[in-house]
Each structure stands twice: as structure tokens, then as C-alpha cells.
Amino acid sequence: MATYIKQLGFVIKNYSDGLGHLVFTNVCLHCNKELVVEERYLCWLCWEGLERTYFELQKTPTKLDQLFWTPIEIKHTCALYFYQKGAVSQSLIRALKYDFKAPLGIYLGAHMATMLNDHPVRNVDAIIPVPIHPRKKFARGYNQSELLARGLAKEWGLPVLKKLVQKKKHNTSQTKNDRFGRWDNVQNMFNTQAEITQYKHVLIVDDVITTGATLAALSQAIKAAAPHVQISLLSFAFTK
């Protein structure tokens, strides 16, 4: 009887998934091709088109590591994919940030966790998503980095510290700034709560790293409040 009920539930789920697919047609976020039931957000061809960095396999310092050769010691860094205009990665990030696709962020976070299950960035006490200003969060409806962190945390069983660091000023968008403009734009941007001292090693999570200015400023704020805390960095993509 139990087996029959289980099989019936499986049939009903498949039927409802198929019906939902007919009523609410899903298309690939990059090529706009209609997705089959088994596909999520991208068609299989576009998933294959995501350009991997393979930073997690490199034994020598990566280009991402080199961004953070500063007085602030960063324990580990990693980014799964390269970000480039017109590429699949840009379509995913655009949908996540501007098309109100909150579930996509959690899905990508869980995907990152699966891909990096044996990477040292997992060996932390907690995850800190890069905070955004409350005004921007209200307009967007969510913080995309927090969604990625939630997907990671669910797979890795780690807490997400979304209240221990706040963005204290609503700066202009970074997208049109050059490297030096980005660094000037993030100085003294974050406030850190004293509770951060309870942790030994935290993982800062962001969607895309370009110059590393925001992550460096956030790391500085954490180190100023808790010099003993080790910091690792993880993003979905890294600008090529």
C-alpha cells in the first residue's frame, strides 16, 4: 500500500509539473528557447555554455587571489564562472538582479555548494552575504547575495549572518565606474556589529566580482571589528 501511494504521488507530481509547464511556459534566460520539464532557468546547451574558471583546481594563485594581495589577509577565494557581456553568465546575473527572480538566487547558491563541496571555502563557521542598502533592497525586493548565501547554507548546514554587517550609505552604481572609481566609491561603506567577534572564520558571498573593491571594503570593516576572524571569499562569477 505504501509503495502504491508513493508511486501515485510521483505520477501526480509529474502530471502537475507538466500541466504547469503548459500553462506557464518557461523559457531559457539566455536564448529564450522553451525549456523542457527537466530544465531549470537555462536550457542544457546554455548551461554548458557557462564558462568555468576552474579556480578551485588551480594549485598556484589565481587571478582572483591576486586581486586581494593587500594588507588584509584573505584565507581562500573562489568564483565558479567567468562573467562577460553577452555571455550566459550575464543573462543569469541580470535575471537575478533585475527580473525579480528570487528563487533563481537560492538555486544558484545550492548549485555552487554542490560544485564546491570539497573546496576549503566550505570550512567556515558562517556565511556573510554582501549587504546592500535598505533602499535598494526595498526596490529590488531582496538582496541577491543573500539568496546565494541561503542556497549555500541550506546545502552546507551553515548560518547566514545577514544582520552583523550593514551598508551604511547608498552609493551610486558601480557598473559605470572604472577600477579607481569603484575603490573610492566603497570607502567607509560598512558597519559591523560586535557579535562578529564570536566567529573564527567567515565566508563572504557575492554574485559577481569585478575589481574586488566592495569585498575589500567589507573585509576591512570585519577585520577592524574582529582582527582574529579569518575571511574567505566566494562569488558565482568573476569578470573576465
User: How high is the pLDDT of residue 11?
Assistant: 39
Q: Are residues 84 and 17 in the same domain?
A: no
User: How high is the pLDDT of residue 168?
Assistant: 79
Q: Are residues 165 and 231 in the same domain?
A: yes
pLDDT in single tens digits along all 240 residues of the chain: 554 454 444 434 444 443 343 334 699 999 999 999 999 999 999 999 999 999 999 999 999 999 998 778 999 999 999 999 999 999 999 999 999 999 999 999 999 999 999 999 999 999 999 999 898 899 889 999 999 999 999 999 999 999 999 987 655 554 555 554 444 556 678 989 999 999 999 999 999 999 999 999 999 999 999 999 999 999 999 998
d(CA 43, CA 28): 5
CB-based contacts of 25: which residues, under 8 Å, 6+ apart?
Answer: 34
Q: Are residues 68 and 186 in the same domain?
A: yes
Q: Say if CB 171 and CB 127 are below 8 A apart.
A: no
Q: Are residues 61 and 44 in the same domain?
A: no
Q: Are residues 78 and 40 in the same domain?
A: no
- 60, with CB counted inside 10 A (0-12, 13-18, 19+), is exposed
User: Structural domain of residue 14, as residue ranges?
Assistant: 1-49
Q: Are residues 31 and 78 in the same domain?
A: no
What's the CA dihedral at 175, 176, 179, 184 to 10 degrees?
-90
Query: How many Cβ atoms from other residues are within 10 Å of residue 185's Cβ?
Result: 17
Q: Are residues 118 and 158 in the same domain?
A: yes
The pTM score is 0.83
Q: Are residues 60 and 34 in the same domain?
A: no
Q: Are residues 26 and 144 in the same domain?
A: no
Q: Are residues 104 and 133 in the same domain?
A: yes
Spell out the SS3 assignment of 116-131.
Answer: CCCCHHHCCCEEEECC
Q: Say if CB 203 and CB 222 are below 8 A apart.
A: no
User: How high is the pLDDT of residue 24?
Assistant: 44
Tally of domains in the chain: 2
| CA angle 221–160–71, rounded 5-degree value | 25
Q: Are residues 159 and 102 in the same domain?
A: yes
Q: End of a domain among 30, 49, 68?
A: 49
Beta bridge mates, 191: 166
User: How high is the pLDDT of residue 70?
Assistant: 76
Q: Are residues 40 and 102 in the same domain?
A: no
